[in-house]
Amino acid sequence: MIAVMGVLAGNGGPTGIAAWANDKAEWLQSILDLPHGIPRKDVFRRVLIALNPEAFQSCFHTWTSGFAEDAWKSTGVGRPILSVDGKRPVAATIRPKE
């Protein structure tokens, strides 16, 4: 879970994920059961190497599709925008200079 969140936050590779996780340690420990603390980069490296990319992609798609379906049921929007960073989308418009 930490690796997925780290990648979604823009970190690539075990070193970046571990650095992000250490920066967010207090928050991560408040939402996840981490009896041994935040894993080190070597742990992330071993886990990422062991993953089967096709199986992970299939599971990730199924997991995120559930979010989209729940959002559609609650909003009625066919293709809702799912925020993964806690920000809400805003209209991108060009405003005239005053």
pLDDT digits (tens, 9 = 90+) for 2-20: 999 999 889 989 999 999 9
* Tens digits of residue pLDDT in 67-96: 878 888 888 877 777 666 556 666 555 555
Q: Report how far apart, in Å, the C-alpha atoms of 58 and of each of 42, 64, 97 are.
A: 25, 10, 47
pLDDT of 45: 96
* Tens digits of residue pLDDT in 40-65: 999 999 999 999 999 999 998 998 88
d(CA 68, CA 13): 27
Instruction: Name every residue whose Cβ is closer than 8 Å to that of residue 53 and which is 6 or more positions away in sequence.
Output: none
Phi/psi of residue 10, each to 5°?
100, 15
More confident residue, 55 or 66: 55
pLDDT of 69: 82
Residue in 2, 36, 37 with CA at minimum distance from that of residue 20: 2
* Tens digits of residue pLDDT in 24-33: 999 999 999 9
pLDDT of 72: 81
d(CA 22, CA 2): 11
